[in-house]
A and B are shown apart, each in its own frame.
Chain A
Amino acid sequence: MATDVSNKFDVIVVGAGLAGLAAAHTCAQAGLETIVIERGTKPGTKNVMGGVLYTRPTAKVFPEFWKDAPVERPVIEQGAWLLTSDSAIKLAYRSQRFADDPPNAFTVLRVKLDKYFADQAEKSGALVICETLVEEVLTDGDNVIGVRCGRAEGDLYAPVVIIAEGVNSELTRQLGMQTDLKLDDTASVVKELIRLDPKVIEDRFNLSGEHEGTTIEMYGDATLGMLGTAFVYTNKDSISLGVGFLLSQAVEAAQTPYDMLQRLKQHSMVAPLIEGGETGEYMTHMIPEGGYNRMPQLFGHGVMVVGDAAMLVNGIHREGSNYALLSGQLAAETAIEAHENGDFSGKTLSHYRARLLDETPILRDLRKYRNAAHYVESHPALLSTYPDLVSDAMYEMLNVDDVPKRQKQWEIVRMVLRARSLVGMAWDGIDGARSML
């Protein structure tokens, strides 16, 4: 049956997350016959992230998306809290400039958002096939020539395969592009949606309406002093509450992700924010934290790796979604170039890596922070011995104006704007600077 359907495409994308959809959208727009294979029932169902999407990198792939995409609230205030068991040092930066058109960043819910991006890719002509697992990559010698899906008549062929299957990518392992992950290469994020009336959310977070949102990152007691963060983001009629931490440390501390989340919900600083809310979906997800040092090979003959699958995540700034979008787009541009030249070897596809280096700060940033995670890890006191050390850090932090070097000041402002992670600056102010700059 259905023998009329061709199994040959110009590009196969494995995974309909942000990276995969960005790649598929870009390829399809250039007229390439593009198919996306996703194992979840819908794009986004297997995707979890804290829930902040930056406008600028996203708009590079999906121009003016904010006009009709299902975003939640523009982020006009970003906070960082250092928690002890019963108190908190709170820091916030709020600016109406964040609310300019378009705003700097939005809180988002992935299931809705990914559906939107998938629709955009489909409108451009990409096919999105869900509920289908890619079991293996088909190769001919060193060349990747297609994929085998877990369905009858499941072989698909294309001169370019873009692997965007997320963290813990089986396919890159199959191709020998990456070795097995270690526990400390991955972080786990657990997240819960707490449904609340929009008015209640706006009162509690000092917001004047649906057009304003806030994000808070929490450190210290929120993660039992483990390396990681907790977060509270305001959506339209819900709050995203979550904890992220390194798997290795969670195993050591014998804490289940669920325990950590419950603990956070009961924290005296957090409980009032979610009081009276109705608990919605509970999600858990792995995030690659290995960073630069653990990045797989990014390309081969007929294949490129993007997004989380490529470990393109900045553990310090918690930037994953914009890296995913940009890497997807660059891989797509490379695939388009390959089709133009009729050369799908690693020689052409290496331009993907070159583009990542030249056109984005991604690889440079990742390289810069390559030892940061391990630095904090080997200095457990950094996040657990408060209040002294942390408040010292805060002191440095709050005295930022006194730092004489203009260069340094600029660096911090840049971080505030680009990242939410104020703690990064706290580290910046203390001894850790060495490992970060």
Chain B
Amino acid sequence: MNTAVCIKQVPDTTEVRIDPETNALVREGVPSIVNPFDAHATEEAVRLKERYGGTVTIISMGPPQATEAIKKCISFGADRGILLSDRAFAGSDTWATSYIIAAGLKRLMSEQPVDLILCGKQAIDGDTAQVGPGLARRLNLPQITYAISIEEVNLDARRVKVGRRLETGVEVVEAPLPALLTCVEEMNEIRYASLPNMIRAARYEPEVWGRDDLEVEDELLGFNGSPTVVSKIFAPPEREPGEIIPGGTEDPTGVAAVIADKLIEALGATASV
């Protein structure tokens, strides 16, 4: 049972600070982390390895520093890590990103069998949820998004049964292996890494594959290969501030009455339109 896990290194958005003057993002000193959903995907892959044997390979695209994120996944229990990194990859949107990662996965699958590919449901920096489905299409694999549980892997019949987290419940789907899953965080609890795994991770040097290691066409990489372009960046339009109803501390009863009046007035006004 060999699993490949696609991960992304992202800024820890809970610690992203905002310059109140310029409203610009202060990136300096913001730590990089493994995208949380991808961490859960890695944890799931390691649990599958514990259940069925086999290996876990981490694959990621990013700048050279992203090896840190891969090493982190090694400490979770993954066996191998590959970073797809090349100047030619920079500026890729989700379309070009899935093109490059798919090329990396194809090479991996040419070296060893891969039964399952796991991704996080989305990355917390872009929130697009597009790379997972993109990979499934490019690799012609069954696409199972929002996976919350892997109920069964039948290696003889080469089938997998997966629970999908939908808005109103959990759908159970069955698909042939190999399949691609994108994982939600409720899938598992990430365990605290053991010390031997921490030591292994500290010693581990991920493989780096560049443009020349992959079968890719230059015009489909990076900025050139990205159908979307960012044409403008601006501060979000803010709603106009309203009024402060005085007396919040001294006279809560009076304030509540004023609010009720205001609401009735506002509702009446919009209702009559």
Contact = CB atoms under 8 A, between A and B. Distances in A.
A156 interface: yes
B17 to A, nearest CB: 8
A100 B11 CA distance: 39
A111 B29 contact: yes
A7 B20 contact: no
Interface stretch (A59-67, A90-98, A127-135, A204-212): A127-135
Contact of A5 (B19, B21, B31, B199): B199
A281 B19 CA distance: 13
B74 to A, nearest CB: 10
A281 B29 contact: yes
Interface stretch (A145-153, A327-335, A339-347, A375-383): A145-153
Contacts of B50: 1
A392 interface: no
Tier of interface size on chain A: 20 to 34
Contacts of B198: 129, 131-132, 151
Interface residues of B, number: 19
Given A278-B20, A278-B21, A153 B203 contact: no
Nearest to B19: A278
Interface stretch (B139-147, B189-197, B263-271): B189-197
A437 interface: no
B195 A153 contact: yes
Interface in A254-311: 278, 280-281
B18 to A, nearest CB: 10
Contacts of B161: none
B204 to A, nearest CB: 11
Nearest to B49: A1
Contacts of A151: 192-195, 198
B202 interface: yes
In the A-B complex, the 7 residue pairs with the closest CB atoms: A5-B196, A152-B194, A2-B196, A151-B195, A154-B195, A127-B202, A153-B194
Interface of B: 17, 19-21, 29, 31, 50, 77, 192-200, 202-203
23 contacts: A1-B50, A2-B194, A2-B197, A3-B196, A5-B196, A5-B197, A5-B199, A7-B195, A41-B31, A42-B31, A111-B29, A127-B202, A129-B195, A131-B198, A132-B195, A132-B198, A151-B192, A151-B193, A151-B198, A153-B196, A155-B195, A278-B19, A280-B17
Given A149-B195, A278-B20, 16 more contacts: A1-B194, A1-B197, A4-B200, A5-B199, A7-B195, A7-B196, A41-B31, A42-B31, A127-B199, A129-B195, A129-B202, A132-B198, A151-B193, A153-B196, A278-B21, A280-B29
